[in-house]
């Protein structure tokens, strides 16, 4: 979640990918039309590949596929929350100067003969600036001035937010606690030309490659002269035959044709001549064996880490962004003569929250849960709770975005593949099959044969986190998509909700498991389930792609 505040600032780099060019002899400038490389105006195609969202073992293949797909440039973020995982004393300006100086020392900028031809200061700040007024404008001026004064010798840019295109070429996976935004679990796939597993997605990859080639055929005209716009009428909603230069051309709805010589069509956005790939998630021969369980003791919410306060706290300030979980615990004393007890009634508990999720426990029993959404982050829990005569303990587990150090199991390092003798794991044969909330599960499996990408099928689970051999796969949350999947036609008025897919299906079912994280045998899987998921139905599957 690298773009939601100044503290999650991103440094944006562009890496030159034209092999064979002697970068030590390369000079890069620009004008209002194009980048100018060694005196020649160029159109360069750039796409985003975020290096932390793929494993290092995938990087070489991703770069090669990007080059083969017609990209000249790869842009990537420098993730502050990856390189400074816990808050330190490095302020933004000092950090920026430090990282830029490190790059200059390694001669990575084009002006020094390196591959970095462009830098961006700040990322997607537009949404925040709307709420900050003059203060945000002052901040942007300060950031721009600081960037220029660093003297990198390459251009700096800022993201326009509202007008910026979405250039994700391979989205990848939000491993660990690096979610790409509120209510996002691990997949950052974006339906990109290369999927999060590193596989080519057709026809998008091939169609985009053909578009790159067609535009390059028009490069000289595009960078040398201003366009002349000739209106041919309004034909967006239906198939149309248009006349241009005394010739007729057929255009599908909402499409664009490219004619480099103003006569012959070499590309139309709606006419796809590339085979479509079919993706399937297939079972593997890996079996999850030797299940064990460890249940959170709700009394662990009352230990020496407690603080007493009046009112609720700002969660991230308390957890320092290293925990998803923050317990609120209070007690209520009920007289035996209370009228609702004598009538056998329950009391209604109401909790208002601006967080992501809330689990309510009364006297150690789960009374219910409530969740926000991307559209409505604030929510209210309202439910009947069973209070008894005497002292009642009400515990609220507030869930935001982070790692569960607020739980006993994390403090005991249950996710470590190195066993802790004092941990009371209970073998499968000794614990009841009925699901319980706030429960840790552990099993072992052997790596399946082959080299197909792997994933965990978590459709039977509720909400929680998962680790393999001590490394965090990330958060899972089984929610079902809503939308309109009844028809798909691009004729008529444009509507961004047309041609939706997956209505009624889980927003994410499969969670990427990098093969490089696995050993041949005895791989440890640890799952922390907040709700009532069924671990017996978790399975390891492989991703298979065939062309049709």
Side-chain half-sphere CA neighbours of 23 within 13 A: 16
9-201 and 297-406 share one fold: no
Provide the CATH topology of domain 9-201.
TIM Barrel (3.20.20)
Q: Which whole number is the average pLDDT over 5-14? A: 45
CATH number 2.60.120.260 given to 297-406: yes
Please name which of 113, 196, 67, 179 lies closest in space to residue 454, comparing C-alpha atoms.
196
Tokens of 400: 């935001």
Compare 198 and 22 and report the one with higher pLDDT: 198
Confidence tier at 351 by pLDDT (50, 70, 90): confident
* Residue linked to tokens 């001669």: 107
What pLDDT does residue 23 have?
46
Angle at 201 between CA 195 and CA 204, to 5 degrees: 120
What pLDDT does residue 19 have?
46
> 279-293+409-547: what CATH class?
mainly beta
What residues are paired with 357 via a beta bridge? 371, 399
Confidence tier at 433 by pLDDT (50, 70, 90): low
pLDDT single digits (tens) 481-532: 888 887 777 677 767 777 788 889 999 999 999 999 999 999 999 999 999 9
DSSP annotation of 297: P
DSSP annotation of 454: E
pTM more than 0.85: no
Q: Which whole number is the average pLDDT over 89-95? A: 61
DSSP three-state, residue 126: helix
Instruction: For the sheet with 454-457, list strands across it.
Output: 277-283, 539-547, 454-457, 510-513
Please name which of 169, 172, 236, 171 lies closest in space to residue 208, comparing C-alpha atoms.
169
Domain layout of the chain by residue ranges: 9-201, 228-274, 279-293+409-547, 297-406
pLDDT single digits (tens) 105-162: 877 777 777 778 888 887 767 666 666 677 878 888 888 888 888 888 888 877 655 5
Contacts of 441 (CB under 8 A, 6+ apart): 291, 292, 293, 526, 527, 528, 529, 535
Please name which of 79, 62, 16, 45 lies closest in space to residue 172, comparing C-alpha atoms.
62
Q: Which whole number is the average pLDDT over 308-322? A: 64
pLDDT single digits (tens) 467-483: 999 999 999 999 898 88
Burial 382-417 (b: 16+ CB within 10 A, else e): eeebebeeeebbbbbbbbbbbbbebbbbbebebbee
The yes-or-no verdict on residue 400 having pLDDT over 80 is no
Contact 197, 451 (CB under 8 A): no
The yes-or-no verdict on residue 305 having pLDDT over 70 is no
The yes-or-no verdict on residue 445 having pLDDT over 90 is yes
> What are the angstrom distances between the C-alpha of 410 and each of 62, 320, 528?
34, 16, 10
Characterize the bridge pairing of strands 10-16 and 28-30. unpaired
Q: Which whole number is the average pLDDT over 227-231? A: 84
d(CA 320, CA 469): 26
Compare 530 and 406 and report the one with higher pLDDT: 530
């Amino acid at each position: 979640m690298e773009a939601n505040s100044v503290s999650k600032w991103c440094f944006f780099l562009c890496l030159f990918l034209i092999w064979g060019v002697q970068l030590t002899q390369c000079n890069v400038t620009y004008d209002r039309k194009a980048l100018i490389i060694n005196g020649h105006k160029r159109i360069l195609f750039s796409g985003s590949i975020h290096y932390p969202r793929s494993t290092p073992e995938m990087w070489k293949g991703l770069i090669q596929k990007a080059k083969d797909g017609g990209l000249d440039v790869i842009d990537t973020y420098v993730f502050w929350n990856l390189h400074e995982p816990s808050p330190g004393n490095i302020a933004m300006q000092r950090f920026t100067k430090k990282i830029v100086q490190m790059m200059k020392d390694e001669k990575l900028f084009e002006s020094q003969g390196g591959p970095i031809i462009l830098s961006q200061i700040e990322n997607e700040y537009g949404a925040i600036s709307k709420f900050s007024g003059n203060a945000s404008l002052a901040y942007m001026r300060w950031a721009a001035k600081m960037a220029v004064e660093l003297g990198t010798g390459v251009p700096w840019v800022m993201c326009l937010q509202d007008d910026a295109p979405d250039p994700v070429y391979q989205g990848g996976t939000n491993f660990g606690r690096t979610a790409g935004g509120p209510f996002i679990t691990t997949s950052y796939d974006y339906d990109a030309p290369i999927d999060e597993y590193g596989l080519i997605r057709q026809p998008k990859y091939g169609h985009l490659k053909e578009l790159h080639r067609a535009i390059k055929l028009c490069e000289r005209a595009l960078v040398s002269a201003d366009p002349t716009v000739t209106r041919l009428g309004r034909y967006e909603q239906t198939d149309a035959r248009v006349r241009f230069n005394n010739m007729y051309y057929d255009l599908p709805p909402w499409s664009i044709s490219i004619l480099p010589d103003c006569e012959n069509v070499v590309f139309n956005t709606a006419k796809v001549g590339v085979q479509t790939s079919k993706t399937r998630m297939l079972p593997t021969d890996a079996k999850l064996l030797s299940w064990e369980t460890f249940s959170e003791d709700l009394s662990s919410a009352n230990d020496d880490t407690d603080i007493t306060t009046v009112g609720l706290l700002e969660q991230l300030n308390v957890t320092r962004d290293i925990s998803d979980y923050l317990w609120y615990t209070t007690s209520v004393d009920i007289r035996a003569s209370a009228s609702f007890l004598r009538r056998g009634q329950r009391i209604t508990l109401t909790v208002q929250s601006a967080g992501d999720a809330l689990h309510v426990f009364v006297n150690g029993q789960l009374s219910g849960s409530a969740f926000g959404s991307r559209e409505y982050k604030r929510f209210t829990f309202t439910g009947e709770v069973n209070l008894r005569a005497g002292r009642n303990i009400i515990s609220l587990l507030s869930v935001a975005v982070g790692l569960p150090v607020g739980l006993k199991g994390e403090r005991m390092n249950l996710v470590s593949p190195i066993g802790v003798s004092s941990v009371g794991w209970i073998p499968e044969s000794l614990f009841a099959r009925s699901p319980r909330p706030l429960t840790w599960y552990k099993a072992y499996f052997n790596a399946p044969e082959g080299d197909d990408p792997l994933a965990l099928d978590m459709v039977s689970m509720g909400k929680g986190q998962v680790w393999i051999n001590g490394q965090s796969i990330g958060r899972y949350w089984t929610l079902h998509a809503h939308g309109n999947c009844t028809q798909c036609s691009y004729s008529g008025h444009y509507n961004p909700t047309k041609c939706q897919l997956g209505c009624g299906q889980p927003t994410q079912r499969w969670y990427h498991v990098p093969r490089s994280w696995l050993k041949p045998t005895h791989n440890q899987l640890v799952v922390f389930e907040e709700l009532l998921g069924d671990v017996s139905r978790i399975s390891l599957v492989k991703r298979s792609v065939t062309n049709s």
